[in-house]
Amino acid sequence: MTTAVFAGVDVEVNEEGFLVNSDEWTADVAEAIAADSGVGPLTELHWKVITFCREDAAREGTAPGLRRISKLSGVGMKDLYALFPKGPGKLAAMVSGLPKPQSCI
């Protein structure tokens, strides 16, 4: 584990850059992670996905995969790839402060 600084906040991340403790996540941290990952600035549609991911993970106990996000968030697959290019499931989870979805390689 290592420490990263997002929006002036020290957070612990794993070797892939995912937050170790999702309780350290804030909207400002999300904005900084997004900028650092080449996503953003975050729009209302990004926030719709982020909010869905965090709420779904709280209910289900694990970060949702791409198909689940697409099916249940109201944001289609094409839009997800536009919002979170080069790995929307992984990037959506990272920006949401969640662990990498099990369905991601």
Mean pLDDT calculated for residue range 4-21: 93
In a domain, residue 19? The reply is yes
- Contacts of 87 by beta carbon, 8 Å cutoff, 6+ apart: 104
Is 53 among the residues known to form the active site? no
82 falls within a domain: yes
Number of separate domains in the chain: 1
Does a structural domain hold residue 103? no
- Tell me how far apart the alpha carbons of residues 97 and 11 are, in angstroms, rounded to a whole number: 10
104 in a structural domain: no
Examine residue 102 and state whether it is found in any structural domain, yes or no.
no
Catalytic-role residue among 6, 24, 104, 105: 104
Average pLDDT, the chain: 93
pTM as predicted? 0.92
Q: Do the domain assignments include residue 105?
A: no
Q: Which residue segment(s) compose the domain that 64 sits in?
A: 2-95
Give per-residue pLDDT as tens, 50-101: 999 999 999 999 999 999 999 999 999 999 999 999 899 999 999 999 998 8
In a domain, 101, yes or no: no
Confidence of residue 41 (pLDDT cuts 50, 70, 90): very high
